[in-house]
Amino acid sequence: MIFYCGNKHRDEHQIHHRDLCKVILSMLNEMGAPNLFDKLKTADPDLWLKTRIDLMKKAKSKIGRQFQEYEEQMFLFPKTCVVCHDSDLSVLRNCECGVNLCKIHKDDSKHKELCGVLKLAFKLTVSGQLPTLNTIQTSLDISERSSLPPSMQDFLDLHLIFREETPEQNENFQGMVTSNFFSGPLTLLYAIEKLNYKVNSSMVIHIIGAGNQDVAAEGCWKTFLLRLTRLTNLKIVFIGPNVSNCLETAVHTFDYYPLAIKTLKVQFHSQRYDEYFKSESFINPDIILGCNLDFHESELGISECTWKDTILTLKKVCVPFVLTAGTKERAEKDHKRFCKLLGMSVHYKFCEVNPYAALSPERDFETEGVRYSNKYVIIYDGKYKESATLKKGEKKKLEGKSSIVKV
């Protein structure tokens, strides 16, 4: 299930993997097989996805705790051929992009198309120190007098300069990683323009399902103040079980001359959105953003279904909601799951490829290809009404080509 370079590192790690090791051994004994994926060779993507998730769920139930990320990856990205999912290690060869191919499929054309971007995803994953906002010099002039740059790459080329560069991290590499910081704010600016949303002098934005990356990017929300000239007071509220509670703090804006009279404040609430809504700390938002929430994964059984109360709360708050997803398939599944948990079929205003998606690829266990943070954007106006029939062409809005690679 997992490989070590030698006995020394295997023994060092044993205290951390001993409980999972015992669970896997017990499952192998029950199956009477040399590995968990023995004789599960299939080219059916749906069956293959279900097989991996079912085995992971069984292991989780036996171990009685949540898995760490690398433990989940042992099941979601097992050592099998990426084409036919043969698990015989004697016929597998590891490609430099990180995936395995059997002797029959070592020259698979589909893999050749994705190999380069998978190699990049692998490099980004295992790289050491990544760029931080402190290493970025901004040259922002994106007021409403000019148009937003047409894409994330154009935004980086026009407005960012990296103060530090190493042989391992050239400007393109740093730009791809840095795009993750700016993708959220730029996506929401894009959504506001699509909705023709009227912005006043003060604005409150709720970011639901927030994580560590959202917290790290708090300073990038200065772009909002620069872009929206009428906006002088901006408050960002990060809500999610994976952030730490924090009293309201101010983000310095005086390093940008145009922001001398503008303020940016942030709050962090470590709870689900429905819990925050019922708390005394709740502040009415003007708009809500949810990045890569993957509602549908709870239906697959990967995570607990904790989204229903949050989605019903969105209906009560009744303001525009912007949802993003990493692939077209994930966007479609998330919209269906959103409607199901809401208890009605609703229309979105827009659902399309997001020009401000992050540029760094990530390996996707659902498609066995790649995904990009915020690659698709779905925009709801907040007026959730039952729709009797699907809007003509609604599915066509999901169609589009990636500016980097077709996924």
Flag whether pLDDT at 46 surpasses 60. yes
For the stretch 361-402, pLDDT in tens is 999 999 999 999 999 999 999 998 876 544 444 544 444 443
Rounded to the nearest 10 degrees, the angle between the axes of helix 7-31 and helix 45-63 is: 100
Cα–Cα dist 333/300, whole Å:
11
Is-contact 53 300, C-beta < 8 A?
yes
Supply the pLDDT for residue 139. 56
- For the stretch 226-245, pLDDT in tens is 888 889 999 999 999 988 88
Over residues 3-8, mean pLDDT:
92
Instruction: Look at 138-147, 191-200, 229-238, 331-340 and tell me which has the smallest mean pLDDT.
Output: 138-147
CA R_g for the chain: 23
User: What are the DSSP calls for 106-155, one per residue?
Assistant: TT-HHHHHHHHHHHHHHHHHH-SS---GGGEEE-----TTSPPPSSHHHH
Q: Which domains are seen in the chain, by residue range?
A: 7-107 (no CATH), 133-398 (3.40.50.150)
For residue range 78-119, what is the model confidence (pLDDT) as tens digits?
A: 999 999 999 999 999 999 998 999 999 999 999 999 999 999
Indicate the pLDDT class of residue 406, thresholds 50, 70 and 90: very low
For residue 55, is pLDDT > 80? yes
Residue 176 pLDDT > 90, yes or no?
no
Task: Quote the mean pLDDT of the chain.
Answer: 86
